[in-house]
Amino acid sequence: MKDSITYRLPFAVMLVLGVFMMVQYYIPASPVVSARDMLLQWKQPLNGFIILLAIGGVAAVHVRKVWKQQKRWGYSVVTLVSMFAMIAAGMVGGMEEGSVFSDWFKYLISPIEATMFSLLAFFVASAAFRAFRARSTAATILLVSAAVVMLALIPSVANHIPIIAQLSDFILKYPNTAAKRAILIGISLGAISVALKTIFGVDRTLLERSR
């Protein structure tokens, strides 16, 4: 099985394209740039296929749920009807201003999304009430830092007590930036290692799992 061409071909493609996309960063010569542009353009139609796959996946999961009348299958009906109605509205009536698609987007999807996100303010307030307790030295430092940054966001406090604004600026610019940079470098090194393992075929679990 592992010697078959169908198994080896994806790794060969990953190796060639992966190495090329790494190397092209350092070679601004025109044939390399043209080849890179061609590869980048392939991604756009590929994205279209990915969306089709996603629609197919969502539809398959929910049709199965409705067919077998599994728990809460009614929500699956709503999902399927909403998804296909939106697709049909866009394909038949277009997506211009004033179209059914545009109106559904403006008067249904937008308020629903905004409402869901607005609820966060309430949950964040509740979580802050429970989490910001001076239980230990580290927790107290977190509590004081959060209080300073929040106070600095209130204009009348920041305008009248400049030390609060300066302190908040210091927290954001130095301890926060140092921590963020450390996390960022760690994530990047991890990403490089995963990418190299995938490109050179060391990590083959992705393909093997799908078999």
Partner 1 sequence: MKLSVALQKLNALDRRWIFIGVFVAVAVPFFIPVSFVAEPTPTTLTFDRALGEALNRNQPIVLDVDFGPQTMAEMEPLLQAVLHRVFQSKRPVILLTFMTESAAPLRTVLARMEQTYQLRYGQDYVFLGYASAYAYTMHGLGTSFGNYFHADDRGTPIEKLPLMKNVHSLRDVSAVVNIASNSFPKFWIQYAVTPFDIDFLAGTTAVQAAEYFPFLQTGQLKGLLGGGRAAAEYETLLLRSGVLTRRGDATRGLGSQSLALLVILAFIAIGNVGWLAARRAGRTS
**Binding residues for partner 1, per CB under 8 A?**
25, 33, 36-37, 40-41, 43-44, 46-48, 97, 102, 105-106, 109-111, 113-114, 116-118, 121-122, 124-126, 128-130, 132-135, 143, 146-147, 150-151, 153-156, 158-159, 165, 169, 172-173, 176-177, 180-181, 184
Q: Which is nearer to partner 1, 65 or 165 (CB)?
A: 165
Q: How far is the CB of 133 from partner 1 (least distance, A)?
A: 5
Cβ neighbours of 109 (radius 10 Å): 12
Q: Are 83 and 58 in contact (CB under 8 A)?
A: yes
The amino acid sitting at 185 is I
Q: Residue length, the chain?
A: 211
Name the residue nearer to partner 1 (CB basis): 27 or 92: 27
In whole angstroms, the minimum distance from the beta carbon of 208 to partner 1 comes to 27
What distance in Å separates the CA atoms of residue 134 and residue 143, rounded to the nearest whole number? Answer: 7
Closest to partner 1 by CB, 66 or 169 = 169
CA distances from 47 to 10, 51, 90, 98, 113 (A): 18, 6, 18, 28, 24
